Protein backbone atom coordinates (compact mmCIF):
# COMPACT_ATOMS: atom_id res chain seq x y z
CA UNK A 1 0.00 0.00 0.00
CA UNK A 2 2.90 2.32 0.67
CA UNK A 3 4.09 1.80 -2.87
CA UNK A 4 0.77 2.93 -4.31
CA UNK A 5 0.69 6.05 -2.15
CA UNK A 6 4.24 6.87 -3.24
CA UNK A 7 3.45 6.72 -6.97
CA UNK A 8 2.79 9.99 -8.79
CA UNK A 9 -0.79 10.65 -9.87
CA UNK A 10 -0.15 10.21 -13.60
CA UNK A 11 1.16 6.66 -12.99
CA UNK A 12 -1.75 5.81 -10.70
CA UNK A 13 -4.25 7.01 -13.30
CA UNK A 14 -2.61 4.88 -16.00
CA UNK A 15 -2.44 1.86 -13.68
CA UNK A 16 -6.09 2.09 -12.62
CA UNK A 17 -7.26 2.64 -16.20
CA UNK A 18 -5.43 -0.51 -17.23
CA UNK A 19 -6.82 -2.55 -14.32
CA UNK A 20 -10.40 -1.31 -14.65
CA UNK A 21 -10.45 -1.94 -18.40
CA UNK A 22 -9.53 -5.61 -17.97
CA UNK A 23 -12.30 -8.10 -18.72
CA UNK A 24 -11.73 -9.94 -15.44
CA UNK A 25 -12.18 -6.70 -13.49
CA UNK A 26 -15.40 -6.02 -15.33
CA UNK A 27 -16.79 -9.46 -14.52
CA UNK A 28 -15.49 -9.63 -10.95
CA UNK A 29 -16.16 -6.00 -10.10
CA UNK A 30 -19.75 -6.06 -11.36
CA UNK A 31 -20.46 -9.36 -9.63
CA UNK A 32 -19.00 -8.05 -6.39
CA UNK A 33 -21.10 -4.89 -6.56
CA UNK A 34 -24.33 -6.86 -7.13
CA UNK A 35 -23.54 -9.24 -4.28
CA UNK A 36 -22.67 -6.37 -1.96
CA UNK A 37 -26.02 -4.73 -2.66
CA UNK A 38 -27.88 -7.95 -1.90
CA UNK A 39 -25.85 -8.41 1.28
CA UNK A 40 -26.66 -4.87 2.44
CA UNK A 41 -30.38 -5.50 1.95
CA UNK A 42 -30.09 -8.75 3.90
CA UNK A 43 -28.21 -7.03 6.73
CA UNK A 44 -30.75 -4.24 6.79
CA UNK A 45 -33.59 -6.76 7.13
CA UNK A 46 -31.78 -8.54 9.94
CA UNK A 47 -31.19 -5.28 11.80
CA UNK A 48 -34.87 -4.43 11.46
CA UNK A 49 -35.89 -7.76 12.92
CA UNK A 50 -33.45 -7.16 15.78
CA UNK A 51 -34.94 -3.69 16.28
CA UNK A 52 -38.42 -5.22 16.46
CA UNK A 53 -37.29 -7.61 19.20
CA UNK A 54 -36.06 -4.89 21.59
CA UNK A 55 -37.83 -1.97 23.23
CA UNK A 56 -35.57 0.69 21.76
CA UNK A 57 -36.90 3.01 19.07
CA UNK A 58 -34.36 3.51 16.27
CA UNK A 59 -36.09 5.58 13.55
CA UNK A 60 -32.87 6.12 11.62
CA UNK A 61 -32.56 2.36 11.11
CA UNK A 62 -35.95 2.25 9.36
CA UNK A 63 -35.02 5.22 7.20
CA UNK A 64 -31.76 3.57 6.14
CA UNK A 65 -33.64 0.35 5.41
CA UNK A 66 -35.99 2.22 3.06
CA UNK A 67 -32.97 3.54 1.17
CA UNK A 68 -31.31 0.12 0.99
CA UNK A 69 -34.41 -1.75 -0.12
CA UNK A 70 -35.61 1.06 -2.38
CA UNK A 71 -32.28 1.21 -4.21
CA UNK A 72 -32.21 -2.57 -4.58
CA UNK A 73 -35.74 -2.62 -5.99
CA UNK A 74 -34.90 0.12 -8.48
CA UNK A 75 -31.75 -1.75 -9.56
CA UNK A 76 -33.65 -5.04 -9.94
CA UNK A 77 -36.18 -3.31 -12.21
CA UNK A 78 -33.33 -2.01 -14.38
CA UNK A 79 -31.76 -5.48 -14.64
CA UNK A 80 -35.01 -7.41 -15.09
Per-residue confidence (pLDDT) for residue 79, from 0 to 100: 47
CA distance 64 to 71: 11
Q: How many CB atoms lie within 10 A of CB 39?
A: 10
Cα 10 versus chain centre, distance: 27
| Segments making up each domain of the chain, as ranges | 24-79
Confidence band, pLDDT 50/70/90 cuts, at residue 74 = very low
- The pTM for the full model equals 0.47
Summarize pLDDT for 15-65 with one digit per residue, the tens: 888 888 887 777 777 778 778 878 888 888 888 888 778 877 778 888 887
Whether the pLDDT of residue 77 is over 60: the answer is no
Amino acid sequence: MRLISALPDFLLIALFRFVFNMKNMDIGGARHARNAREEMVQLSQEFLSLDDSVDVNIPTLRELHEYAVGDALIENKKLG
